[in-house]
Amino acid sequence: MEVKIKAPRGTQDVLPAESYQWQEIERIVMEEASRSGFAEIRFPTFEDTALFQRSVGDTTDVVQKEMYTFEDKGNRSVTLRPEGTAGTIRAVLENGLLGSALPLRVCYLTSCFRYEKPQAGRLREFHQFGAEMLGSASPVADAEVIAMVQRILTRFGLAGAVRLEINSIGCPKCRADYHAALRSYFAQRRDELCATCQTRLDKNPMRILDCKSPVCSEIAAGAPVGLDYLCDECAAHFDQLQRHLKAFGIGYTVNPRIVRGLDYYTKTVFEFITDTIGAQGTVCGGGRYDGLVQELGGAPTPALGFAMGLERLLLVLRASGYEFQPREVCALYLASMGDQAHLAAAGLADALRRAGVRAECDVMGRSLKAQMKYADKIGARYTVVIGDSELAAGKAAVKEMCSGETADCTLSAEALAAFLNQ
């Protein structure tokens, strides 16, 4: 029977030929996070739907249009996580992590799910590296988190390919004035807005700013900007952030149009943007969310974080010619002829692996010629042919495949491992 079932639209297999690139990305981001004091947290793939309604916001595109929400067999509404911050904060609160030393720094590598139109670098199941710092209200924390992203991008050689844009969207205190300004602006063109945005006009006019409908975004382009409505505290915070970025030597531009599409952000928002993959793309976005911990039932706790889209980062790395460390290949292929030699080769391969050597032997019952062809196909660095005479002599010729040079080596795991490591 022919297999007709295909991967769901918007999902992607990562095959062995590229998984090593993912592993390198994951290793580097986690290494940088660890240097900055962030420790990994893992949380469930699905959560109570209310978690995302409360945190991401029920008037956002994410919650209104893009979530994978369903009822489980116990009639509970559950949702595949559309982002990582909500689950992180839920886990932090449920496990009492804010009771120990602050700030708390946690990070994650995880897949997220959004029902969006699939396009290059944007999938329905996508992967994010994210980090959250909880407990500090200081703009130094904002600058430190941004500096960490900058260090990660620099390690990937992307410092010149990605630019930082920052903005402040204020706090609940100054946002009332800003909302009023947005309402009166959008009210003039109410009839042109999409149906979703017409309801947003009353409930949460800021969300009209990130509506993806062309008409709404055209109208939004002329809307008042939050920077003009900041209270003294928010203005001072934004000013301090910029002074610290300058002290870190991090270049940036202020873009008053950045609002991020999630309700929980306050004050600082930022994006790292690239033009190297055709259309302009955000590689990393984040900001401060001083009200979220309390919104989810915790004590008032200032916090901030970011998420980096790994599919998009990979596209940028490939477009920029980043050289991944080569995939590890088989170090020694042990070819064999005859029953005794097969047994010896299998035993040696196992002993070599225990010694940390990537070794392979025949498991297909192939002829010697076919074994050598296979060793060539998998790119084995060295081969050795073991037959009755080699067994009798206790040594065999080890051949370096790229040069064709051979050298005799004792047929023991220790001797072979030493030979390969020299």
> How many angstroms separate the CA atoms of 180 and 178, rounded?
5
220 touches Zn ion (CB under 5 A): no
- Angle subtended at Cα 175 by Cα 94 and Cα 173, rounded to the nearest 5 degrees: 70
Span of 44-52, 177-185, 233-241, 255-263 interacting with Zn ion by CB under 5 A: 233-241
> By three-state DSSP, how is residue 259 classified?
coil
For residue 54, what is the DSSP state?
A: I
- According to DSSP, the β-strands at 104-113 and 125-134 are antiparallel
> How many angstroms separate the CA atoms of 149 and 153, rounded?
6
Rg (CA), the chain: 28
Span of 113-121, 234-242, 363-371, 389-397 interacting with Zn ion by CB under 5 A: 234-242
36 touches Zn ion (CB under 5 A): no
Count of positions on this chain that bind Zn ion (CB under 5 A)? 11
Residue closer to Zn ion (CB basis): 146 or 211: 211
Report the candidate in 81, 99, 10 with the shortest Cα–Cα distance to residue 298: 99
Residue closer to Zn ion (CB basis): 87 or 226: 226
131 touches Zn ion (CB under 5 A): no
Q: Which two tokens stand for residue 141?
A: 């924390």
> By three-state DSSP, how is residue 48 classified?
strand
Residue closer to Zn ion (CB basis): 97 or 194: 194
Span of 159-167, 207-215, 277-285, 365-373 interacting with Zn ion by CB under 5 A: 207-215
Report the candidate in 94, 107, 85 with the shortest Cα–Cα distance to residue 37: 107
* Shortest distance (Å) from residue 136 CB to Zn ion: 17
How far are the Cα atoms of 283, 361, 362, 367 from residue 337, in angstroms, in the given order?
54, 11, 10, 8
Question: Largest Cα–Cα distance in the chain?
Answer: 94
> How many angstroms separate the CA atoms of 211 and 197, rounded?
8
Return the residue of 67, 104, 211, 292 that touches Zn ion, per CB under 5 A.
211
Residue closer to Zn ion (CB basis): 159 or 171: 171
Span of 26-34, 161-169, 229-237, 358-366 interacting with Zn ion by CB under 5 A: 229-237
Residue closer to Zn ion (CB basis): 182 or 197: 197
Residue closer to Zn ion (CB basis): 213 or 255: 213
* Shortest distance (Å) from residue 167 CB to Zn ion: 13
92 touches Zn ion (CB under 5 A): no
Q: Which two tokens stand for residue 13?
A: 């297999």
> How many angstroms separate the CA atoms of 86 and 47, rounded?
9
> How many angstroms separate the CA atoms of 132 and 142, rounded?
11
Span of 211-219, 318-326, 336-344, 401-409 interacting with Zn ion by CB under 5 A: 211-219
- Cβ neighbours for 141, distance < 8 A, ≥ 6 positions apart: 103, 133, 304
212 touches Zn ion (CB under 5 A): no
> How many angstroms separate the CA atoms of 184 and 169, rounded?
18
Residue closer to Zn ion (CB basis): 231 or 346: 231
Residue closer to Zn ion (CB basis): 53 or 266: 266
* Shortest distance (Å) from residue 58 CB to Zn ion: 16
Site pattern 167..206 for Zn ion (x: CB under 5 A): ---xx-xx-------------------x--x---------
Cβ-contact 317, 325 below 8 angstroms: no
Residue closer to Zn ion (CB basis): 239 or 405: 239
93 touches Zn ion (CB under 5 A): no
415 touches Zn ion (CB under 5 A): no
* Shortest distance (Å) from residue 170 CB to Zn ion: 4
Q: Which residues bind Zn ion (CB under 5 A)?
A: 170-171, 173-174, 194, 197, 211, 213, 216, 231, 234
